[in-house]
Structure 1
Amino acid sequence: MNQTKPSRKRLTLAIGLALIAATLLTVWLVSTFDRFQAFQTPEQKLLHAMEDIEQADGNSKAKLIEQTVIEPYAYTPYTFDVHLGASSMVRSGSTEDALLTPEERIPLLEWYMQHAEPSHYLIRAAEQLVYEYAVLGKSAEADQALAQTVKRLSNNTAERRDLLLLQAERQLEYGNTEQTRKLLEQAGPAGNDIVFNGLSETYGWISSRLLFAEGQAKSALESAQQALVEQARVEKDGYASESYIALEDYRNSLKTALNQHDSEPSVFSGKLIRSDGTPVPRAGIFLRESDRSQYRGDKEPYHAVTDDTGTFEIRGVIPGFYQLEVGLSYEQLEDWSWPFDWDDRIEIKGNSSVERNLAMTPLIEQQSPLGGQELTGDTVEFRWATVEGAAYYELGGMIPNQDNSGGTGSMIRSGITDNHLSIPIDELYATPGPLSWSEDNDWESTQPDTLLAYMNPEAKFSWSVEAYDAEGNKIAQSSSPRIDSKSIENRPEFYLKQRTLNPADRLVLKGELAQALDRYRSNVEADPNDTESLRLLTRLLYAKSQIGEEQTMQELIPLLERLSEQSTNPREIEKLLSLFYENADWAKYEQYYRLYTESNPEPINAYERSIYATMLLYQGKTDEAREAFADALSDDGTHRFVGMALAAELADHRSLTKVREMARSYPELSEENSWTYWSDLLEAMEKERSASPDTFDAKLDKTLTSFLNNRQADVKAKAPASSGLPSIDDFVEALAQVH
């Protein structure tokens, strides 16, 4: 049978069509694979990545480990989903990533350290492996892995030096000073030709810490200062690395300790457990200087991670006052929290071992209102589960932003002795939000949601509760970063629908505050009993007064007095107290302070009592002031008004020795970036007095009396002219800074 050969043209066309079909098929398959990948769960993607690593070798395997194990943000040591404490924060980004277990990560990190080429990934792998072993309590295995990697690296490489410094830091944390020094000598100081990449910059820091651990505090300070000078030479464009800042903070702490004549290294240790007794492993423990709130990651000078028993230990601590911070995962916080106090400080003296056991407690169950309930009655009923050991509770609220992207917290009521509270709606309406405005101090940029606060019927508010024991220690709380995990019907949210927005309110919400102000004025003139318009009128005027428009005071004060007659609410009276204090109107201040205490359903806090004591001191009522300060200082963990209390003692002609003892008993620990060491100032005064006691006493009495008399007339009066004695001038100048 004869077959006809296909023509060349037909053959070419057939081959072309086949190629097109194959290409389309390939595109379809790739597209389908991509779509399949997009629909894979994080767990499936991670499983495939692990299979690829297992099948690969050499550089390919190293690259896959870098991508899967070393790079992800979640694996950075000492970074946690949530930090609770001085720099409380929540990690941004996805919390649903699939994570490898420590058992899966450790062999991959070990392989990488044994085979991978030197790079910054090698340093990160070492940091992560050391961290994982620390959690498991396997310090020897970590040290062995580091030592083996160092041996295979060439001398004079940045990576080898970094690993040696990491080894040195670990030995220092163990207390092995001799081994630390040997490792530092092997690493050597960094030359300008070495690329700085994190640990390289810590040479000076570790050197200084080593000297301090050896009991050479003065040499440690000199070493830190020299390292800062050397390191500053290589900083570019004004950039200061985390290591530089950490070393700078460390230097300042050393200087303070030496000035306080207490500079022996100490140990801080303890356990983190749940209240049911179970330990909390893999939690970060940070001991932080209590005058600093910025978190510095793994460059914090004092950090540890809890092992499988919840135990932690931090060595080589400089004496001083510290705040605790705990790092936790979202899983660790599920239905639990660590209830910390902002004002809580830990005093660590030289050559001491301080132990502090920390307890996580269950979240307080909030019972009502919940689920965005719309409330219309004259009172609001808050209810929550009883906390064992609670002496009282504090109820707080959250005023949402207009776009519901966040909110502003406000205290609603403190000193609640039961597990429920029936609060009049007028009290909620009288509870303002904290004012905030733009940097150019334009009062019309004041956030509308904080002006209307709980008077906005369209806002969905939330609430929280905290429990305290008889000594004032927080022992439990209801709030948690995991609130979004609650079902909608169980979220502590509610609306206040007792009123409707009027035209002036709507102007506020639109940010047209000047027009709203005029409208509220008209409402009040038309109806003197319109308490709601009067209240919002005073809030707008108060916002204007707080950015320096003093002429507003003439209108504001009479309106606030009128408001206090219509609604005897401590929230409005509190504003009057502030204004009368600023204006040094002491008669009015005392009148309304009495009304404030009589109408207040909760205890007057230490801050307000300290202000009252200061007012008494300015008026020359020294005995009353001393008594009031003694009462307030014992309840104020920060002792922010101790300077004024010391001035009251000196005004009553108490001896410098006695006053200095008081300064030591109540060290200032305010939230400012720097404190005043009053005991140092008084020590200098004692030394200067010894040369001529009578002359010193006369000048002190004259200078202090002049200062207090000036403050009686103007609370912003500066320190008087020089007394001729530096120690007196320094004390009074510090006194002028007390706020």
Structure 2
Amino acid sequence: MKKKINIIHFIYILVFLFGLLPVASIYLQPRIEMASIDKQLEAGNEPTAKDQIKSLLQQNISDKKKWEIIQKYMIDGDLAHRFDVYIGPSITTWPNPDNPNVFTAEEAIPYLEEYIEDGPIDGYMQSAAKQLAIYYQQQGNSEKADQILVKASVRAISFSEDYYVTEIFIKRVQLALETNNFSKAESIIEELKEQAKQNNTTNADLQTIIPLLEIEKLLHEGKFIQAHEKLNQDVVTLKKQWNEENEKYREMAEQAGQQPPEDLQFENGVFASELLSIKHQLEQAIKLRNTNLASIEGRITKSNGMPMSGVGVFLRDEASVNMSVGRDERHQTLTDENGFYQMTGVIPGKYQIHLGLTQAQVDGWAWAMPKDQWIDITGDRKITYNIKFNPLIEIHEPVNYKEIRSKEVHFKWEKVSDADYYDLNLCLEFDNGSTCSSVETNIKQNEFTIPFEELYDKKTGIMFSGDGSQIETVEPGSLLGFANSNGEFSWYVRAYDKDDSVITQSNGYTLNKRLLDKAPIFYLKERELTKADQLLLEHKIPEAFELYKQTVKENPNDTHSQRMVTRLSEFVKDIEGK
């Protein structure tokens, strides 16, 4: 009897476990697969990761997990979040190095369409619609682009998701203005006004967005004076409305016996700051007696003549060139299949072009930047600004983690035709980034030798990481510099023509140097670390400082300790001065 019961229990357990298998395949297996995909991406195995993602989406998984996969690996939305790297004369950024672009725009289309049709109504749905609309606009199909956005807005309206509706309407107006379809832009703005009226909204952002879009339309039409007059009137009206709303909320709080809300300034609103930025630019142009609005256009190509399509192009004014590219960039577009871009309604001033690129677009190539990287827009109505990418310089030595134990280090690289001279740059590599500095300029040959002692004397940028005081967060290896025999170093060269413009360089725009065929990484193993060096690397900076000073006192000819006393004295002086 006992045996019979045990067998029955065993059968029940088996049935239960078999019943769990479908649940595991729907809920647990996708998690395991996604962890594997992320590991492949970290290792740079994007084709393998892509195959795994496509395979996973074909399996019997829950809708929630399917949408999560599309969100994570396919939806980028705005151009400010679309690319692996953003390059400009003033700054280069990698916004999301752990999630590179895996799918091309064409490959993502069916998944984005499915998300817009059936996915959750959220920020990702809005982003998918924008992404798809931008793609069709780039292909010259502006009608299809608008249809996509209308479809998404209808879904959002049906669920009273006003924020997403507004964002989609903004993109519709922007795309209409890109093609100079001013009647369409005006019609969409009127739709947005009607939408606001039906909802009886007092949303401060929406009250600012509508005049902002109207002013953008005037600027794209070339109506400088009308735009300036309307802008001045709108700012006065909007500030008055803002203050009245603030006062109303304060009175309501007082009547309820609550602490009145903090006074928020009109100028601090996201869209208000955009409006005021345009106002400032217009006023600066008036001071210069230049009220001609301009357009800028050009082609982005590789040196072999191949057009670079789908490149993000951002025209940025002086105030923003040192900041990361943001979603609210006033002038932004994509190159078409011929590498062509165009932007209109440009207010006179000084600008730089910044680019957004995927690793696939830019791998093996470098932007040939002119010496003068500023575009001075004055009275010209149309400006042509072409951009060319040249092949990267191939490096020869040192590469692939070479340990150098001699008294000098020899650098050698491929000779570049038309190069008048080169400059050599060395970097200190850390877990949280790197700091680079030029060690030699105006090198006439495609090789250069530098003695270790000269390298040890070179000052480098000082790195900080984490929270806390500078003495707590400084990266000690950056204080030791090239004298750190435990340190990891990398290098690159740039080639210049006779006009001092960059022809090309050896370092591309890949964040992870270890994935390169010839990693430009080496180690300097000529010297042994001193006790003071070891204390410094252990972050015991005061103790290291004292030991360096003591060593100099005992041995005035110790050049390394002298160097470190000077370097740490300057560091302490700098942080105490702040």
Indicate the residue corresponding to 1:92 in structure 2: 96
Alignment of 1:131-530 (within 5 A): 131-146=134-149, 158=162, 162-188=167-193, 190=196, 194=201, 202-213=209-220, 214-215=223-224, 216-222=226-232, 225-226=235-236, 229=239, 242-292=270-320, 293-340=322-369, 344-350=373-379, 352-401=381-430, 404-435=431-462, 446-482=474-510, 484=512, 486=514, 490-530=518-558
Does structure 1 retain, via aligned residues, the 8 Å contact 2:359–2:510? yes
Note the residue ranges of structure 1 that are not aligned, 5 or more in a row. 1-6, 551-739
The alpha carbon displacement at 1:514 in A equals: 3.1
Q: Percent identity?
A: 27
Contact between 1:364 and 1:477, CA under 8 Å: does it hold in 2? yes
What are the superposed Cα offsets for residues 289-323 of structure 1, whole Å, 9 maximum, x if unpaired?
12223335332100001111111111111111111
Classify 1:46/1:137 alpha carbon distance in 2 versus 1 (closer, same or farther; 3 Å).
Answer: same
1:449-497 per-residue CA deviation (whole Å, 9 max, x = no partner) reads 2221111112121111111111111121122342636568821122222
CA distance in 1: counterparts of 2:159 and 2:476, whole angstroms: 63
Q: Which residue identity lines up with residue 140 of structure 1 in the other structure?
A: E
Indicate the residue corresponding to 2:257 in structure 1.
none
Matches within 5 A, 1:541-690: 541-548=569-576
Residue type of the alignment partner of 1:124: S
Q: Contact between 2:208 and 2:238, CA under 8 Å: does it hold in 1?
A: no
- Could you tell me how far apart the structure 2 residues matched to 1:226 and 1:122 are? 36
Q: Give me the whole-angstrom Cα distance separating, in 2, the residues matched to 1:372 and 1:272.
A: 35
Q: How high is the TM-score relative to the length of structure 1?
A: 0.63
Conserved 8 A contact 1:269-1:354 = yes
Look up the match of 1:679: none
What letter corresponds to residue 283 of structure 2 in structure 1? K
Distance in 1 between residues matched to 2:474 and 2:167, nearest whole Å: 50
Aligned to 2:256: none
CA separation in 1, counterparts of 2:181 and 2:517? 56
Classify 1:381/1:270 alpha carbon distance in 2 versus 1 (closer, same or farther; 3 Å): same
Counterpart-to-counterpart distance in 1, 2:374 and 2:559: 43
Distance 1:196 1:68 in 2: 34
Between the aligned partners of 1:526 and 1:161, the Cα distance in structure 2 is: 73
Distance 1:251 1:155 in 2: 36
Distance 1:227 1:390 in 2: 58
SS at match of 1:276: coil
Does the residue aligned with 2:324 lie in a helix, a strand or coil?
coil
The amino acid that maps onto 1:393 is Y
Number of positions where the alignment pairs a residue of Structure 1 with one of Structure 2:
533
Q: Is residue 400–residue 406 contact of structure 1 (8 Å, CA) maintained in 2?
A: yes
Compared CA separation, residues 314 and 231, structure 1 to 2 (3 A)? farther
What corresponds to 2:57 in structure 1?
Answer: 49
Residue 16 of structure 1: how far off its partner (Å): 5.8
2:133 maps to which residue? 130
Over residues 127-163 of structure 1, what are the superposed CA-to-partner deviations in whole Å (9 max), with x where a residue is unaligned?
1221111232222322344457778967998365554
Structure 2 CA distance for aligned equivalents of residues 280 and 317 of structure 1: 24
Could you list the runs of 5+ residues in structure 2 that have no partner in the other structure? 38-48, 247-260
Q: Is the contact made by 2:435 and 2:462 (CA closer than 8 Å) also made in structure 1?
A: no
Contact 2:93 / 2:324 at 8 angstroms: preserved in 1? no
- Quickly say closer, same or farther: Cα 1:318–1:453, change in 2 above 3 A: same
Which amino acid in structure 2 is aligned with residue 331 of structure 1? A
Deviates more, 1:78-87 or 1:480-489: 480-489
Q: Judge conservation of contact 1:228–1:248 (CA < 8 Å) in 2.
A: no
Q: In terms of Rg, which structure is larger?
A: 1
How far apart, in 2, do the equivalents of 1:474 and 1:28 lie?
Answer: 60
Aligned residues of 1:106 and 1:132 also touching (Cα < 8 A): no
What does the per-residue CA deviation read over 1:589-647, in whole Å, with 9 as the maximum and x for residues that have no partner? xxxxxxxxxxxxxxxxxxxxxxxxxxxxxxxxxxxxxxxxxxxxxxxxxxxxxxxxxxx
Q: Note closer, same or farther for the CA distance 1:113–1:426 as it changes in structure 2 (3 Å cut).
A: closer
TM-score by length of 2: 0.79
SS at 2:299's partner residue?
A: strand
Counterpart amino acid of residue 386 in structure 1: K
Task: Quote the Cα distance in structure 2 between the aligned partners of 1:48 and 1:458.
Answer: 43
Alpha-carbon spacing, 1:92–1:198, altered in 2? closer, same or farther (3 Å): farther
Q: Is the 8 A contact 2:105 2:135 kept in 1?
A: yes
| Alignment match, 1:25 | 18
After superposition, give the CA deviation of every residue in 1:676-724 in whole Å (9 maximum; x if it has no partner): xxxxxxxxxxxxxxxxxxxxxxxxxxxxxxxxxxxxxxxxxxxxxxxxx
- Shift in Å at residue 102 of structure 1? 3.6
Conserved 8 A contact 2:130-2:149: no
* Residue 76 (str. 1) matches residue 83 (str. 2): no
Query: Residue 44 of structure 2 aligns with which residue?
Result: none
Q: Quick one: which amino acid aligns to residue 126 of structure 2?
A: I
Aligned partner letter, 2:188: L
SS at match of 2:327: helix
The Cα shift of 1:446 comes to 4.8
The Cα shift of 1:339 comes to 4.7
Task: Give 3-state SS (helix, strand or coil) of 1:546's partner.
Answer: helix
1:364 partner amino acid: I
Shift of 1:22: 0.7
SS of 1:521's equivalent in the other structure is: helix
Q: CA separation in 2, counterparts of 1:504 and 1:71?
A: 47
Q: CA deviation at 1:347?
A: 1.0
Structure 2 CA distance for partners of 1:472 and 1:300, relative to 1, 3 Å = same
Q: Secondary structure at the match of 2:296?
A: strand
Distance in 2 (CA, whole Å) between partners of 1:13 and 1:520 is 77
Greater relative CO, 1 or 2 (CA 8 Å, sep 6+) = 2
Secondary structure at the aligned position of 1:175 is classed as coil
Contact 1:184 1:207 in 2 (8 A): yes
User: Relative to structure 1, is the Cα distance of residues 201 and 464 closer, same or farther in structure 2, using a 3 angstrom cutoff?
Assistant: farther
Equivalent-residue separation in structure 1 for 2:497 and 2:446 (angstroms)? 14
Partner Cα separation in structure 2 for residue 96 and residue 161 of structure 1 = 29
Deviation at 1:23, TM superposition (A): 0.4
Q: 2:373 and 2:451 mapped to 1: Cα distance?
A: 33
Question: After alignment, is 268-277 or 72-81 more displaced?
Answer: 72-81
Change (3 A) 1:73 1:15: same
Q: Is 278-287 or 386-395 further displaced after alignment?
A: 386-395
Whether the aligned pair in 1 keeps the contact of 2:228 and 2:279 (CA below 8 Å) is: no
Letter in 1 for 2:460: G
CA distance in 2, matches of 1:117, 1:510: 50
Cα deviation, residue 34, structure 1: 6.5
Distance in 2 separating the partners of 1:32 and 1:222 = 61
